Amino acid sequence: MNIGNERYFFDLMDLLVQWSRHENHEPFDLNSISVCKNYNQSSEFVTTLLVIGYVGDSDRDIEEFFSCAKHAPGDQNFINTMSQWFEFGNPFGGGYAFYQSCCTLSPQEIFAAMDYLKSECNRRYPGVSIDFQKPMDKSSGAKTQGGCYIATAVYGSYDCPEVWTLRRFRDFKLQKTYGGRLFVKAYYAISPQIVKRFGETSWFNHFWKKRLDKMVKRLRRKGFKNTPYEDKF
C-alpha cells in the first residue's frame, strides 16, 4: 500500500472517527465504521478497499438526519464536509452510509494491507470500534470447517474468540436439549447454502456481525468463554 493511498485512507477515517466521537455538532450517530473489500466492483485480480460509515437503518432515520441540519448550522457544515469526501447511499444494500474507496490492491496485497491498517487504526484511534471485514481466505478452509457456517463467514475464521464462544454455546447449551439439537441440525442444513450465496457480500457481513456481536456479548456475560476450544461433539 503506497503512501498516498495510506494518507487518503486516514483522511477518510479521521472524519468518521471525529463524527463517532461527537467532536462536532453531528445530528446523528454513526452506527458503525467498517473497512472492507468492494465485492461489487472487484474481480479476481483487482480489489477496491472501501471505508464506510453506517448512518441509519431506515428512511425515517435519514429524513431526521438531514432535517436536523436546519436547526443547527454546525450540523449542515459537517454534512457538507462529509459530502465532499464521501458518497452517500446503500453501498451493499445494508444500512445507509457515507462510503468511499481509498485504494485498489491485488489479492496478494489485500490481507497484508488490512492487517497493517487495522493495527494503525488501533494505535491512532484507541477505544473506537472499527470493523475490518477481511475477504475469506480460500486456502484456509474456513467455510467448510466445523459447523458455525455463518459465524465463520462473518468473523473469517473457525478459530477466533467470537466463534469459540458460539461453539461453546452450541455444545454446552443447545446440544443439551431436544429443541436445541433440532435447531443445530436445521442450521447445519440451511446455513451452508446461505453462506455460499451471500457470504462474500458486505451487506450480509454487516447484517449478521451486528447481531452476532450482541449475542456473543450476552453469552460472555453468562459465562461462555472466548478462549481456544476443541469441539465437544
The pLDDT tens digits for 16-45 are 998 887 766 566 677 788 888 776 555 555
Residue type, 217: K
Mark which of 98, 133, 168 sits at the end of a domain. 133
Q: How far is CA 117 from the centre of its chain?
A: 15
Task: Return d(Cα 161, Cα 71) in angstroms, integer.
Answer: 44
Residue 61 falls inside a structural domain: yes
**Residue 131, SS3 per DSSP:** strand
> How high is the pLDDT of residue 138?
41
Task: Kindly state the cell numbers that stand for 198.
Answer: 451471500
B/e letters for 108-131, b = 16+ CB within 10 Å, e = fewer, are eebeebbeebeeebeeebeeeebb
pLDDT of residue 39: 61
Please report, rounded to a whole number, the percentage of residues in the chain having pLDDT higher than 90: 21
Residue 229 lies in a domain: no
Structurally, the chain folds into a number of domains equal to 2
Are 96 and 153 in a shared domain? no
Q: What is the mean pLDDT of residues 58-85?
A: 72
Distance of CA 197 to the CA centre of its chain: 18
Cα 26 from chain centroid (whole Å): 22
The DSSP letter of residue 121 is: H
Query: What does each C-alpha distance from 90 to 36, 55, 76, 144, 202 come to in angstroms?
Result: 14, 10, 21, 30, 11
Residues 121 and 32 in one domain: yes
Q: For the whole model, what pTM was predicted?
A: 0.58
Domain boundary among 106, 133, 160: 133
Q: Are residues 16 and 120 in the same domain?
A: yes
